[in-house]
Chain A
């Protein structure tokens, strides 16, 4: 395992295009345990009114938080650490949509807020210090405020 997020499983997820064993956006939260094992991460879970936060803290100092709604699906992922996670793992089936929607230049350089149909991605930082999050507006629980992605 060389990537801090489930890279070993990426090939399978790419070839099968079916849901990855990683707990990517829209996936079942049960896959988080797989992530934890592959990242050799500690797992902390806390509950809010209508969702749960699964926080994985890897030895590399990278933090990955997966937000799970009452239906058991991951509706948001946030990250912070020295490097950006493998976005294909984080976004799962939504990755291709993200790439298609972000080709070309943007008004800001150095930070990014990308609004796509049903999906919002924000990224910032610089080399050796990246952070960001992605969430699915349609899967988020009613009343969920993006400010809650911490």
Chain B
């Protein structure tokens, strides 16, 4: 693999996909990667590759999901859903969906739709019911979101940059496998008159008329794994290490259940309890200051602190949202939780100019946490997908019992 600047091919190909109708720049290397085959029913293949239609993702972890019209054998497999431990629920683009899925309805019988918040924007679309098959496991009649503006007009109060089509999502959907049981929870079940209701769910009386709704948790978009009859207490993401200059693709596994089968035990993994926001503590450097932090497979880099606090140079130009150390920085941190468990890790931050321009998987891509330092409740570390390479990472779902106690926790 040649070593060329990262800028023109991968990161810049992402930038070039920005609006304005400019020609989309294909990555130099665009080879579809088949999902690895998993032999156990509680496992399925996962891959880091260029993304669907060679869209040019950096550090996007994907798998395929099979959806069925409830109670039927009319099914469709959709490839390249982004595996995201930072959110919960199955979401597919309406442009990819060939099935007729029934609406999930409000208590007054109206079809539900959702304005789902993500860091980069919001995804709008109806809530539908599907039977969901992941590997050899299935969730019956699961509320999922169909992303798109084709069914219901985007409400004015669904603010944030719209992520409602293939061009903006750059994936066919999202497989949210975070620590929560639903994407919203008790807040969205509050009356619409309550300020506690964040107004994510809507009920629609016509294609143009949707109003904020109060939605019981049973009707909310839910964690698919928690709905399995077995192996339903959490997930495991297992990915190999990648070379220092990156890899064209990486094949690994997404597994279901923690300590429920011979293949999913915790072993010697350190269990870090997380709070209701999914946070634990990262101390950086080792013996230094403690910062609020989280794991998120949906983040494409290690985003932490700022250049001054981390003592790293920030890039300029097209990759200025990343760190550019003169030579690869070897750093250490201690990850710990309120339960007293802790583990010390080492990680690397490379200069993007030393990374392969043909690669899509990088274990050492990092950048500042935008806005750091913020108020004390804002996190200092987002351990994104690079942290997952070379590790087996467990995500235990809230209130589900495991051999290490009930979730929520992360372990590795």
Contact = CB atoms under 8 A, between A and B. Distances in A.
Interface in B262-302: 276-279, 294, 296, 298-301
Nearest to A108: B321
A40 B17 contact: no
Given A109-B298, A110-B86, A128-B276, A2 B18 contact: no
A109 B297 CA distance: 10
Contacts of B369: 111, 124
Interface in B381-405: 382, 384
A23 interface: no
Contacts of A59: 195-196
B193 interface: yes
Contacts of B195: 1-4, 38-40, 58-60
B170 interface: yes
In the complex, which of the residues A105, A110, A123 has the most CB atoms of chain B within 10 Å of its own CB atom? A110
B35 to A, nearest CB: 21
A17 to B, nearest CB: 12
A94 interface: no
Interface string A3-40: 11001001100100000000000000000000000111
B371 A14 contact: no
B322 interface: yes
B199 interface: yes
B92 interface: no
B371 A108 contact: no
Contacts of A113: 321, 370-371
Interface string A58-86: 11100101000000000000101011101
Contacts of A3: 157, 195, 198-199, 212
A126 B116 CA distance: 11
A2 B375 contact: no
A107 B118 CA distance: 16
Interface stretch (B128-136, B176-184, B229-237): B176-184
Contacts of B349: none
A127 B222 CA distance: 13
A113 B301 CA distance: 14
A7 B18 CA distance: 30
A128 B277 contact: yes
Given A111-B367, A122-B371, A99 B200 contact: no
Contact of A14 (B156, B194, B298): B156
Contact of B375 (A63, A82, A106): A63
A138 interface: no
B198 A106 contact: no
B180 A128 contact: yes
A68 B294 CA distance: 32
B212 A126 contact: no
Contacts of B298: 109-110, 126
A126 B294 contact: yes
B374 A87 contact: no
Nearest to A60: B196
A58 to B, nearest CB: 6
Nearest to A90: B159
B367 A102 contact: no
A124 B299 CA distance: 10
Given A108-B303, A108-B321, A133-B374, A125 B193 contact: no
Contacts of B87: 126-127
Contacts of B318: 107
A126 B122 CA distance: 12
B374 A131 contact: yes
B300 A110 contact: yes
Interface in B157-183: 157, 159-162, 167-168, 170, 176, 178, 180, 183
B306 to A, nearest CB: 8
Interface in B90-138: 117-122
A104 B198 contact: no
Contact of A123 (B119, B185, B198): B119
B374 A80 contact: yes
A110 B199 CA distance: 22
Contacts of A10: 156-157
A88 B159 contact: yes
Question: What 6 pairs across the A-B complex have the smallest Cβ distances?
Answer: A110-B299, A104-B18, A126-B86, A122-B371, A129-B277, A122-B370
11 contacts: A2-B195, A10-B156, A63-B375, A80-B375, A82-B277, A105-B168, A111-B370, A123-B370, A133-B374, A147-B373, A149-B374
Interface of A: 1-4, 7, 10-11, 14, 38-40, 58-60, 63, 65, 78, 80, 82-84, 86-89, 95, 98-99, 102-113, 122-133, 147, 149-150
